[in-house]
Amino acid sequence: MSNKDGWVDDYTISIGWCTDDVLELVRMRNMNRLSDDIPKEKLTLDECKEVLARCLRGHDANHGITWDTLDFHIDDIIKEKDK
């Protein structure tokens, strides 16, 4: 586990994403809706964990995990819920 500055030990860093990050992005997406007629998006804690799991499974060190990566997986999970 890393400490506050991101160092795990003298030779290793760790950059982490958490479910709070996913929830914050959903909150921001809801604030940026173009119309009140568009329903607010909601994710459960388990769905937030699935967003992170998909990011981990598809991780490419050349591109990293960004807010756009989280956004992509949130879109997928919301689409799957609406089916």
Instruction: Tell me the domain boundaries of the chain.
Output: 17-82
pLDDT in tens, 22-57: 999 999 999 998 888 888 899 999 999 999 999 999
The two structure tokens encoding residue 19: 């479910």
Binned at pLDDT 50, 70 and 90, residue 1 comes out as low
Percentage of residues in the chain having pLDDT higher than 70: 95
Which strand (E) or helix (H) includes residue 27?
helix 19-31
| Residue 62 confidence (pLDDT) | 93
Distance between CA atoms of 2 and 9, rounded to whole angstroms?
8
pTM reported for the whole predicted model: 0.85
Binned at pLDDT 50, 70 and 90, residue 2 comes out as low
